[in-house]
Amino acid sequence: MLKLIEPKDHYNYRSRINLFLGLLEFYQNTTLHLEEQSQCSFILDEEEDGHISGGAILYKKSISDLDKNIEKLVTAFPLNTDYVWASTLVFCHPSQVMQVYFQEFYENLLEAFREFAYQEDINFLCLTLNPLEYLRTKNKGCWSYIMEVKPQESIDGLFHGILPLSEHNYKVQFSPQDDARHNYRGFQIAA
Domain CATH number, residue 43: 3.40.630.30
191 pLDDT above the threshold of 50: no
Give the count of domains, the chain: 1
CB atoms near residue 53 (< 10 Å)? 20
Q: What is the pTM of this model?
A: 0.83
Chain segment 161-181, per-residue pLDDT in tens: 999 998 655 555 544 444 444
Q: What is the pLDDT of residue 10?
A: 93
Which domain range does residue 173 map to? 2-190
Contact 59/86 with Cβ under 8 angstroms? yes
Average pLDDT over residues 14-23: 90
CA pair distance 133, 112, nearest whole angstrom: 17
Q: What is the pLDDT of residue 178?
A: 47
Chain segment 34-68, per-residue pLDDT in tens: 777 889 999 999 877 777 888 999 999 999 999 99
- Residue 182's SS3 state is coil
Contact 10/18 with Cβ under 8 angstroms? no
DSSP state of 7: G
CA pair distance 139, 76, nearest whole angstrom: 29
Q: What is the pLDDT of residue 95?
A: 59
Contact 118/129 with Cβ under 8 angstroms? no
Q: What is the pLDDT of residue 71?
A: 93
CA pair distance 182, 173, nearest whole angstrom: 13
